[in-house]
Structure 1
Amino acid sequence: MKKEFIKKNYPLFIGFFVPVTIMLGYFIYRGMYPFGKSSLLTVDLGQQYVDFFAAYRDTLLHDPTKIFYSFSKAIGGEMLGEFAYYLLSPFNLIFLFFKGKTLTAGIMLVTLLKYGCSGLAMAWLLQKRNKKTRLVNSALAITYAMMGWFVANQFNLLWLDACVFLPLIIVGFYNLMETAKPACYVLFLGFMIIVNYYMAYMICIFLVLFFIWYAFDNFETPKIMLKKAAIFVGSSLLAVGVGCLTLLSTLYTLSVSKGQYMQEKINFKLEYDPIKMVSKLTMGAFNFDQLPSGQPNLFISSLALFAFCLFFFCKKIKLRSRITAFLITCFLILSMCFEPLDLFWHGMQFPVWYPYRFSFIVSFWMIFLAHTALSKRSRQTRIFLTVPGILYAGVIIYVATNLKKFSFASKQTLIISVVFALLTLILMSLTDKLLDFDSKDFLLLIVVIFEMSINACMSLNNLSYLTQKEFADPTKTLAQDKKALDSLDKSLYRVASLYCRTKNDGLAQNMNFGSYFSSALEKSIPDFYGQIGNPDGDNYVAYTNGTLITDGLLDMKYLIQPKDSAEIEQPKTDLNIVSERPDAAEYNLVKETESTRIYRNPYSANIIYASNRSLLNQKILYNDPINYQTSWLNSATSTWPSTRYFYPCNFNEVIFQNTPKQVNLTNSSFKKIKCSKEAKIIFKFTPKTDDSYYITLGPCLNSDNVTWYRGNRLLNHYGTFRHTVVINVANHDKGNEIVLTARFKKDSLWLNNFVLYQMDTQAVLNKLEQVKINSLTNMKATSTLIKGDLSLDSNQMMATTIPYNQGWHLTVDGKSTSIIKIQNTFIGAILSSGKHRIVLKYVPPYLGIGCIVSLLSCGLLIVICNFSRLKKRGFV
C-alpha cells in the first residue's frame, strides 16, 4: 500500500524533498548555523525580521495581549497590523521551539520548509492538471520552488508564503470553475489574506487576470461564462470576508502608517529600458546591488522558459487561449517597467528596496503555461524549438555585449547559462526513436535540478551574511540587561539604551527602548522624533539622542551604557555603540552586567501626567528641537512666562584646515581649498560649569557628508537623520577642554543648524520633579490596560506619552470619557479638577466587526457547501 501510494504521488515527494535537500546542502556548505559559524541573517532578515520572530515567540508564550499593543514598538503602538504583515505565517509556530541565539537555526528550518512546501504545492497543482506528465511536473515544481524570485527573496521570509499558497489557490480556482465547489478556493485565499494581506493583494490582481484567461480558454456560451464570473466574484468576496478577521484592523493601521505616504504624483513613464529585463533570464542574475534597485527577478529553468515560448505556437492549444495569454503576458511585462502599473501592483507606493515584488506571479504564470505546453507535446514541438532557441541566443548576445551594465553578469555565468540551455534544447529535440518520453523527461529533470541548484549557489554567493557570533553576542548581552531590569523593576517604563544590534532590540527582548523599524510605523511617531531631535525616517525611529528633558518626560526610567572594551572580560563582546550620554552622570548607577551599566533616572515622570492646558497649543517645530523641548517642559509644568533651559555658547577656538576661515559658523558653507587634500574644522570649548552641553546638527551634517570626532576618537552617534538632532557632548566637565572635529567627506560642508548649547541642568531637574509629582499614582499596567489615580488643578489636563490611537478607550471615575490628540502625537483628555480614577483600555479598532464578518463568511461558506444536503432535509 505504501509503495503504491509513493508510486502514485512521487512527483509530490520530489517537489518537496529535492528543493529542501539542495538548499540544506548549500547551507551546510556555507557553514550556516547550526552547521558552522555563519548564519542566514542578511539585510532585513538580520536587521528586522529576526527580532519580530523573537517577539512572536515571547508574545505567544508569555503575553498574548501584545498581539494587540506593545510599548516596545517605539514609544508604543498597535501590533495587530504588524502581526498581519510580519508574523501570521503558520510556519512561524516553529519559532516557539527556538530561543535566543538558536533562533537562527529555527530560521533555517522555516526557510527550508518554505522551499519544500512551495515545490509541493506546485507539484500538487500540476498533478491535478495532468497526471501523465509526472516527471515534467516534478521538474517544473522544482523550478517554481527555486525560481530566481524565491532565491533572491529567501531572507524576506514573510513573503514566501505567497509562493506556497498561490498554487493552492489556483487548485481551488479550478475546483470552483469546474465543480462549483468554493470551499478550497475561499479558504486558501481567505487564509492568504490573513497570513499576509500585502502579498494577497497581488495574488488577487493576478486572479482577475487568470480568470480572464480561463474564460477565453474554456469559453462556452455568454450565459455560462457570466454565471461563472458571478461565482468567481462572489467566492472572491467571500474569501475577503473570511480574511476580515485581521483585514479591517490592518486597513486602519495602514491608514495611519503606510497610507500616509501614498504616491500623489504618478509619472507615465518607463522606469528603465525594458530590454534590460531579459538579463534576468541568465543564471546568477542577482547580487546586493539589485536589492535597492534593479530589474525583476525572473529566472526559471531553461525547460520552463522554452516550454513557455512553445505555448504560443502549440496548435493543440486554442488560438483564443494563446492570444489572451499573450496579452496578459504583455500586461505583466509592462507592469514590470511602467511606473503607473508598478505602483498599482504595490498598493500605490513605491517599494523601499526589493523592487517588483510581484514578479513571483510572472514566474508562476510562465511555469504554468509551460506545463500546459508540455502537456500538449507533439512532433511539431521540435520544429518550434528553434524560436525560443534563437530568442535565448539573442538574450546571451545582448548581455555579453553589455556586461558593464550588469554587475551580476560575467562570462562565466553566461557560459554556464548557454550550457544548460543547449542541454535542454537537445533533450527536448530528440525524437521518440532516439529516446522515449519517460527517459527524456527523466534527463530533463536531472538537468533542471543541476541548473536550479547552480543558479541558487551563484546568486546567494553574491550576498554577505552575519556570523552567528555577531548575532549571538549582542543577543546575550541584551538578555542579561533584560534580566537585570526585571530584577529591579516590573512596572511599565521606558529605557534609553546607548548600544544596539538593531532598532528592534527592544521588541525582541520585551524592553521599551524607544527605537523601532517597521513598514507599518505610524507616521506621527517619526514626525514626533524629528521634533525632539532624534533620528527618524518613514519606517524607523531611533531614540539615541535623548536629553535630560526627553528622558524625563518620556519616562525613560533607566539608561543602559556599554562598558569600555578594556573593562569587559574575555571573550570580548563587541557592542554597536550608537550614542554617548555624559549627562548620565545625573542618574544613579543601580546595576552592572558583564558588558553594561544600568542607571536609574530619578527624574522620569509617569507616561500619564497632569499638564497645563497650554500643551494643547504646542507648536510643530521641525529642525528646532531645543525650542520644542523647552516649550514642552514649560507646558507640562505650567511655567509662565516661559523659562529658558538652553543658552547658546561660543567656541573658545575654531581651527580651519584646508577651508577658508569664517567668523559665523551656524548655517555657513565651507569649501575645500585643495580638493585633493583632507579638510576639517576643529571646535574647542571649555565648560565654565558642570551643566550638560549639547550641540545640534542639521540634516546636512549626517554621516554622508561629515565624520565627527571627540578628541582623538570617533564621536559615537547615530549618523543617519533627516531633521536636526541633539547630541550631548559634555557634563560635569567644568574646566576640561572639549575638542570636536568635523572632517569633510565631500568638497564642501554646510554647518546646518550647528549650535553649541549649555543647559541649565538644575532648572530642568527641578521642573522634571514637578512633572513627576503630578504624575499618575497607584499605577497598574499591562500592554492593553493602564489604571491609576491622577490629581488635577483647575488649569490642568490629563496628558500622556501614549501615542494616539482610536483603539484606546478612557474611563474616568467609572464614566466613559473622550480622548483627544495632543502634540499631534499623544493621547490627552480634558478633565475637571480634583482626584480621578483613570482607566485606559486598548481594543484594536474594527477587530470586533472583522471577527463578526469573518464568522458570518465562514458560516455562509458552510451553508453553500452543504446547500443540497440542507435542501433535502428541509432547512432551506
Structure 2
Amino acid sequence: MKVKIVDFTKRHYSLLLSFWLPFLIMGGYFISRNMYPFGSSSLLTVDLGQQYVDFFAFFRNTLLHHPTSFFYSFSKALGGDMLGEWAYYLLSPFNLLLLIFPAKNIDAAIFLITILKYSCAGLSFAFFIEKTQHLRGLKTVMLSVSYALMGWFVAYQLNLLWLDAAILLPLICYFLNHLLLQNQQKIAYSLTLAAALIINYYTAYMICIFLLLYASWLIIAHYQSAKRFGHQILLFISNSILAAGLAAIILVPTFYSLIGSKGQYTQQLIHYKFEYFPPKMLAKLIIGSFNFQQMPSGLPNIFIGSLGLLSFIAYFFFRQFPWKERIASLLITLFLLLSLCFEPLDLFWHGMQFPVWYPYRFSFIVSFWMLLLAGRALQQLKKVPSWKIAAISSFVLYAGIILYTFLNLKKFSFVSTTNLTLTVVMAILIWLLLFWPVDLKYQPLKTCLLSIIVIVEVASNAFISLNNLSYLSEKEYAQPTAALTNNATWIHNHNHGLFRTGEVYSRTKNDGLAHDLNTGSYFSSALEKNVPDFYGMIGNPDGDNYVTYSNGTLISDALLGMKYFITPKSNLSNTQQSLTQLTEKPDLKTYRQIATNKLTKTYLNQHSLPLAYLASNQLTKTKSFYDDPTTFQTNWLKSATGHQSDQYFTPQNFNEVVFQNVTQQLRLTDTVFKKKNLAKEAKIIFKFVPTTNNSYYLTLGAPLDSDNVTFYLGNRQLNQYSTFRHAVVVNLASHAKGQEIVLTAVFKKSSLWLNHFVLYQMNNRLVNQRLSQLKKQQPTVKKLSERRLQISYTQKKSQQLVATTIPYSSGWHAEVNGQPVKTTKIQQMFLGIKVNGAGVKKITLTYRPPYLLTGLIVSLISIAVLIFSYWFYRPKYRPKKFI
C-alpha cells in the first residue's frame, strides 16, 4: 500500500501540488488574519456577510427541516418562488459541506468552502493544462497556482456562488478538446457543461459565450477539410444543446422566474462607447491592484502574474505555432479585451444588464484564455529557435505596461509605489529565469527557483489585495444571529401557524430567510419586480434587488399579517449592544409585550390578519400609485372593508419650526431650502406636541435619504433605513399626548428639498374598528407545507372575495371543496379567489413552479439521448480518431 501511495505521488505530484499549494497559501493567510474558527474575525464581508451567509443558513434549514422550501418560501419578502434562487445561489455541490457544521458555526464552513474552491481551481487547471498542452511537473504547478490565485478569484472570493465556474471551465474545455479533435468524451462534455448550467446559470452563460470562441479556435487551428469542419460544428452544437437539455429541469422554470425579476431590468438603451480609456486596464496587471473602491465600479480584475503575462505575450512571437492559429488567437484576444471596456460587449457578457457592483464578472474567462496561451508558449519554449524574439518582445511590452502605470500612478488609487516596485522586481526575476539560457544540469534548479518566485508573486498579490478589505468580526455576526435564533425558536414554539414577524432590529435583510421568520424583508438578485414596486407604494424602502419592511403603520402591519415584532432592549451595555436598531416603532406601545430575554423583547400585534381574509369586492378596483403611501394604505383598508368614506390619516402642522443658517420660507412641503453660509452647519428643527395618544407619522420623499440629510429625534440620530427611492412613512410618536417631539434635519449639502415632507395623525380608534371588522370575517389558514395551504370558513354571501397577501403567481392553483377554480390578481400584486355559493368552504392552495414539469420532461428526454449516445459510442463501436 505504501509503495502504491509513493508511486501515485511521484506520477501525480504536479496535480497534488496544484491542489495543496492554494489550500495552504490561502488557509495560512486566513489563519494569520485570525479568521474564524482560528480567531475573532471572519471571512464575512460585503455580500458574503449581508446576503450569502443567510442563503447558506436557508440551505441547511431546507435540506434538514423544510424540504418544500426548495420550491416556495414565505421568507422571501412576502412569499415567492425559490427555484430561481436555488439556481443562482445554492446549487454548488460544495454547499453540502454546510450540513456537516452546526448552524451557529456556518462561518467556519464558509472558511473551508472558500479555500477548497481555491484548491479545486488549481487542480482543475493543472489537469487541463497537462492533458491539452502536455506540460509536466513544476511548469504545470506554476500556471495552476497562477490560475487559482488570479486577480478575479481573489477579488471575488466573497462571491462563492461564482467560483465554481472557474473550477468547471478548464474541465469543460478539456472535454471539448477531446470531442472536437478526437471525437471522444461526448458524454463528459455534455455532463460538465450541464453541471455548470445547473450550478449557476449566470456564470454558465458567460462560459457558453466563451465556448463559441474556444470551439472556433480549436476548429480553425486544426482545420483539415471541409467535411471534418462540418462534422466538428455539428458535434459542438448537438452536444451543447444536449447539455442544455440535461439542465432543463432547472433552466426552464428559472427562465420563467427571470422574466418577472432580472428580466424586467434588461438594458434597453445601449451606448456605443468605451466605458473608460482602455489602456487603464493595464494597471490591473500590477501586484495588489485591488481595493474596496474597485468593488462597486472598478476596472476588470485580470492579474495573472508575471509568468503568465510574459508567456502570453511570447506566444504570439513563436513561429512554431501555425499562422492561422496565432491569427485566430489574436482575434479572440482582441475581442475579449474589447469586451472589458466597450459597453455593448460588456452588456452582452452580463446578459444585457449592467452589474450592480462587481464589474466585469467574466474576466476569469480572460485570465483563463491568457494562461492557456501562456501554457502553449511554455510547452514550446525549449524547442523554439526564435525564443530571443519572443523574450525581447515580452520584455518590451511588459516594460511598457510598467511605464504606463508609473506615469499615471496618481490616477490609480489601487496601485501604490511599493506594489509597482515589487512587480518590477518580480517581473525581472521571472523574465530572467524564464528566458535566460543555462546549462542543462542547472535546468532543474532554475525551474525550481522560478516556481518559488512565481508562487511568491501571486501569493503576494492575494495577500495585499485582501488586506485592503475589512471583515465582520465573529461577534458582529454571532451575537445578532444568536439573538434572532432565540427569538425565532420562542415564536415557533408558541405558534406553529403561518404568520409574519416584523423586525425593529436586524442583522441583514435576509434574517427571515435564515431564521424562518417571514420578516417581509429580502435581498436577492432574482427578486420579482412587482414586490419592490408594492413596497414603494406602501411607504417602505425598496430597490431593484431588495425590500425592507422597516416603515410599517398600524394598517400595513395588520393587513400584511405582521403578528409579532421583535425589538432590542434599550438598556443594553456597550458590550452587549451589537443589535442594530432598524427603525423607529413607537407603535409598539399599542401592541402587547409577550416575551423578554437578555437582549430583546417580543410583542404581539392583536389586530394582525391571517395571510388570507374575506374582503369586499371593491378591493379588486384598488389603484396603484407611488409617493403617497398614506393614501394607498387608506384605499387598501377602506376597499377591503367597503367603507369608502373613511379617512384614517389627517395632515398636521408643526407647532414650531426653527431655521439655523437656512433661508426661511413659509411653506415646508416640497420646498427647497438653502444654506446661508456654505461654510457653516445648517439645520431645520421641527417641533410638535401630540394632542392625542394616536399614532403620528411623517412621510419622507426620496431626496431625504442619508446622502442629503441626517435626522435626529430628540438628542439621538433617527433610526431609519438610509436609502429609499419612493416616499417612506416614519413612525414618530404614539401614546405621547402632551410630550414635545423634536425632529432635527441637518443638511449634508448646500440645499435640501423637503420632498413629500408631511406630518400625519392617524385615527387609531377608527383604524382599530375597521381591522376588528375584518378579523371577525377571519378564515382559518392552515399551512400544510411551504407550498400548500388550506383556508376554511363559512360563506354567507352568494359571492365572496377571498383576499390574500400572498404575491400573485401563475404557480398557485386553487381548489374550492375539491373543485379547481381560477385565481385572480388583486391590487396588481396579490393572489385573490372569487368563491361562489354560500356554505362551508375549504380552499386548498398548491404551488407548483411554472414550467417545472416541462423542464423535467426535456431533461428526461435528454438523459435518454445521453444513455443511447453512451451505448452507441461505447469502445467497440467508437469511430477512429481524427488525429
The bucket for the TM-score relative to the shorter chain is over 0.9
- 1:790 CA drift (Å): 3.4
Q: Which residue of 1 aligns with 2:535?
A: 529
* Preserved contact between residue 535 and residue 542 of structure 2 (Cα < 8 Å): yes
Residues 677-696 of structure 1 correspond to what in structure 2 (within 5 A)?
A: 677-696=680-699
* Cα offset, 1:732, TM superposition: 0.7
Aligned 8 A contact 1:311 1:372 in 2: yes
Take 1:673 and 1:258, find their aligned partners in 2: how far apart are those partners? Answer: 45
C-alpha contact (below 8 Å) 1:100/1:476 kept by paired residues: no
Deviates more, 1:390-399 or 1:751-760: 390-399
Equivalences for 1:547-626 in 2 at 5 Å? 547-564=553-570, 566=571, 568=572, 571-626=575-630
Task: Give 1:795 deviation, angstroms.
Answer: 6.0
Q: Distance in 2 between matches of 1:438 and 1:593?
A: 67
CA distance, structure 2, for counterparts of residue 322 and residue 870 of structure 1? 35
- Counterpart in the other structure of 2:520: 514
| Matched position secondary structure for 1:75 | coil
Give the C-alpha shift of residue 870 in structure 1.
11
Match runs of 1:70-469 below 5 Å:
70-177=73-180, 178-377=182-381, 378-433=384-439, 436-469=442-475
SS at match of 2:836: coil
Does the CA contact (< 8 Å) of 1:382 and 1:428 recur in 2? no
Shift of 1:535: 0.3
State the distance in 2 between where 1:726 and 1:323 align: 62
Task: Please say if 1:48 is aligned against 2:51.
Answer: yes
Checking the alignment, whether the CA contact within 8 Å between 1:610 and 1:791 is kept in structure 2 is no
Q: Which runs of 5+ in 1 are unaligned?
A: none
The AA in structure 2 aligned to 1:439 is: L
Q: Secondary structure at the match of 1:866?
A: helix
Q: What is the identity, as a one-letter code, of the residue corresponding to 1:89?
A: S
Residues 498/306 of structure 1: CA separation in 2 closer, same or farther (3 Å cut)? same
What is the one-letter code of the residue matched to 1:192? A
Q: Aligned with 1:594: secondary structure?
A: coil
Shift of residue 573 of structure 1?
A: 3.2
Q: Which amino acid aligns with 2:286?
A: T
Contact 1:689 1:732 in 2 (8 A): yes
Partner Cα separation in structure 2 for residue 829 and residue 341 of structure 1: 46
2-structure distance, mates of 1:114, 1:660: 59
Deviates more, 1:146-155 or 1:573-582: 573-582
Look up the SS of the partner of 1:863 in the other structure: helix
- More divergent stretch after superposition (105-114 vs 776-785): 776-785
Work out the CA distance in 2 between the residues paired with 1:132 and 1:595: 60
Using the TM superposition, give the Cα deviation of residue 621 of structure 1 relative to its aligned residue in structure 2, in angstroms: 1.5
Conserved in 2, the CA contact under 8 Å of 1:492 and 1:781?
no
Cα distance in 1 for residues equivalent to 2:57 and 2:743: 39
- TM-score, scaled to structure 1: 0.98
C-alpha distance in 2 between matches for 1:587 and 1:497: 14
Give a deviation string over 1:35-92, Cα, whole Å, max 9, x none. Answer: 1111111110011001100110111100111011101111101111001000000000
Q: Give the aligned residue type for 2:567.
A: Q
RMSD between superposed Cα atoms in Å: 1.5
Q: Residues 762 and 833 of structure 1: is their aligned pair in 2 closer, same or farther, counting only changes over 3 Å?
A: farther
Q: Within 5 A, what are the aligned runs for 1:433-832?
A: 433=439, 436-564=442-570, 566=571, 568=572, 571-640=575-644, 642-777=645-780, 779-792=782-795, 793-794=797-798, 796-832=800-836
Structure 1 position 397, deviation (Å): 1.2
Matched AA of 1:782: S
> Is the Cα–Cα contact under 8 Å of residues 659 and 672 in structure 1 kept in the other structure?
yes
The residue type paired with residue 851 of structure 2 is: Y
Partner SS state of residue 128, structure 2:
helix
2:12 partner SS: helix
Distance of 1:807 and 1:795 partners within structure 2 = 24
| C-alpha displacement of 1:386 | 1.0
The one-letter amino acid of 2:542's match is D
Which amino acid is 2:323 matched to? L
1:411-439 CA distances to partner (integer Å, 9 max, x unpaired)?
A: 10000000110011100122142765433
Match 1:61 to one of 56, 61, 64: 64
Structure 1, 517-526 or 713-722: larger mean CA deviation: 713-722
How far did 1:830 drift? 2.1
- Displacement of 1:472 after TM fit? 0.6
Deviations 1:710-757 (A, max 9, x none): 111111111210000001111111111111111111110011000010
Code of the aligned partner of 1:483:
T
Cα deviation digits, residues 242-300 of structure 1 (max 9, x gap): 11120011101100000001101011111100010100111001001100111100001
In structure 2, runs of 5+ residues without a counterpart are 879-883
% identical aligned pairs: 51
* CA offsets 1:780-802 (integer angstroms, 9 cap, x no match): 44210100213443464121100
Q: Is the 8 A contact 1:498 1:580 kept in 2?
A: yes
8 Å contact kept, 2:612–2:791: no
| Structure 1 Cα separation of the partners of residues 569 and 257 of structure 2 | 39
1: CA distance between counterparts of 2:202 and 2:343?
19
Distance in 1 of aligned mates of 2:389 and 2:870: 48
Contact 1:667 1:752 in 2 (8 A): yes
Q: Deviations over 1:487-531 (max 9, x none)?
A: 221111001110111100111111111100000000000000000
Judged with a 3 Å threshold, the aligned counterparts in structure 2 of structure 1 residues 816 and 260 are, in CA distance, closer, same or farther, namely same
Distance 1:336 1:555, change over 3 A: same
**Stretch of structure 1 that moved more, 748-757 or 571-580:** 571-580
Q: Is the 8 A contact 1:72 1:511 kept in 2?
A: yes
2:867 matched to which residue of 1?
A: 862
Determine if contact 2:799/2:835 at 8 Å carries over to the other structure.
no
Whether contact under 8 Å (2:615, 2:802) holds in the other structure is yes
CA separation of 1:214/1:823 partners in 2, compared to 1, >3 Å: closer, same or farther? same
After superposition, the Cα gap between the structure-2 partners of 1:654 and 1:176, relative to the gap in structure 1 and judged at 3 Å, is same
Cα 1:683/1:411, change in 2 over 3 Å = same
1:588 shift after superposition: 1.0
Q: Could you tell which deviates more after superposition, 136-145 or 769-778?
A: 769-778
Give the C-alpha shift of residue 132 in structure 1.
4.7
**Count of residues paired in the alignment:** 870
807-816 or 106-115, larger mean C-alpha shift: 807-816
CA contact (8 A) 2:47 2:159 kept: yes
Q: Which amino acid aligns with 2:673?
A: F
Q: Deviations over 1:222-259 (max 9, x none)?
A: 11011011001000000000111200111011000000
Give 1:21's match in structure 2, choosing from 16, 20, 24.
24
Amino acid at match of 2:61: D
- Give the TM-score normalised by the residue count of structure 2: 0.97
What is the DSSP-based 3-state SS (H/G/I as helix, E as strand, rest coil) of the residue aligned with 1:831?
strand
**What's the offset of the Cα at 1:626?**
0.4
Kindly state the Cα deviation for residue 349 of structure 1 after the two structures are TM-superposed.
0.3
Q: Take 2:876 and 2:770, find their aligned partners in 1: how far apart are those partners?
A: 75
Higher alpha-carbon deviation: 787-796 or 402-411: 787-796
Alpha-carbon distance in structure 1 between the residues aligned to 2:85 and 2:694 = 42
What CA deviation, in whole Å up to 9, does each residue of 1:572-629 have, x standing for no partner? 1321101121111111111112111111111011111111111111111100000000
607-616 or 319-328: which moved more? 607-616
Amino acid paired to 1:584? L
